Structure 1
Amino acid sequence: MGTTAGSAFDTETLRRGVEGQTPTALLSLYADDAELRVIDHNTQPSRPRVLHGRDEIAQLLDDVYSRDMTHKLEECVVQGDHAAFSESCRYADGVRVLSESMITLRDGKIVDQTLIQAWDE
């Protein structure tokens, strides 16, 4: 799927969205037809969790942001119609999570994301 970025991706909104207390700002960065693949210990590369559309992505983000944890955008690199970012998270009990995302953009919105995450066990 080829896409072009018609407007710049808003990395400040990404930072506010990742580090915020609600998923509202982060969700605003997704196109209506976005697809998100999640790969982790439970959903391995041969069978990733795949979410289709902003509504399914919103359900995941609502769940994540309802937890007692902090989120920090560590790094973000944007090149043309692609971007990559690292996010670190910490639960109140000290458990840490690290995720890496590669995204494809269209008109400044996320249309495709692969998220790989690992956490303390």
Structure 2
Amino acid sequence: MEQIRHALQMRDVEALANLYAEDAVLEEVSSLNPPAHPIVVQGRDAILKQLRDEFLRDPVGGWHREVKSTDIIDEMETDEAVAFTEVRTYAAGDKVITQHLAHKRNGRIQHDRLVVARDSD
């Protein structure tokens, strides 16, 4: 959990992506992508691209934006799983709250299911 916190707070998307297994799956549900049609990203390289987009681009308007801060709350970790809530605040003041529930294999995230709420929703 400490590696996740550090990567998020330092806005180090490469370090964050390296916590995922090579064949990891990231599944995101939000008002833009309901449970019937989630975003599904497969593989560490694709997850890295997704993370870069999330940190630098607004998913609704597509404009450039800057992350001001990231806080982690309600965290829990075992050998097999990690769960936490990420609160990301952007320079413009808008917030994105993401609940992560991830399963691990050999110390790396294998499957990360995210539920995302945005101020713009």
- Number of aligned positions between the proteins: 111
Residues 7 and 15 in structure 2, CA contact (< 8 A), matched pair in contact too: yes
How far did 1:64 drift?
A: 2.2
Tell me how far apart the structure 1 counterparts of residues 94 and 83 of structure 2 sit (CA, whole Å). Answer: 24
How far did 1:19 drift?
A: 1.2
- Paired position in structure 2 for 1:52: 42
CA offsets 1:59-90 (integer angstroms, 9 cap, x no match): 01111233401222223201330110110011
- Paired position in structure 1 for 2:27: 37
Tell me how far apart the structure 2 counterparts of residues 82 and 12 of structure 1 sit (CA, whole Å). Answer: 14
**What is the CA RMSD across the aligned residues, in angstroms?**
1.2
**What is the identity percentage for the equivalent residue pairs of Structure 1 and Structure 2?**
30
Q: Where has structure 1 moved over 3 Å in runs of 4 or more?
A: none
Tell me how far apart the structure 2 counterparts of residues 48 and 118 of structure 1 sit (CA, whole Å). Answer: 14
Letter in 2 for 1:104: H
Q: Which has the higher contact order (CA 8 A, sep 6+)?
A: 1
- Paired position in structure 2 for 1:75: 74
Normalising by the residue count of structure 1, what TM-score does the alignment of the two structures yield?
Answer: 0.86
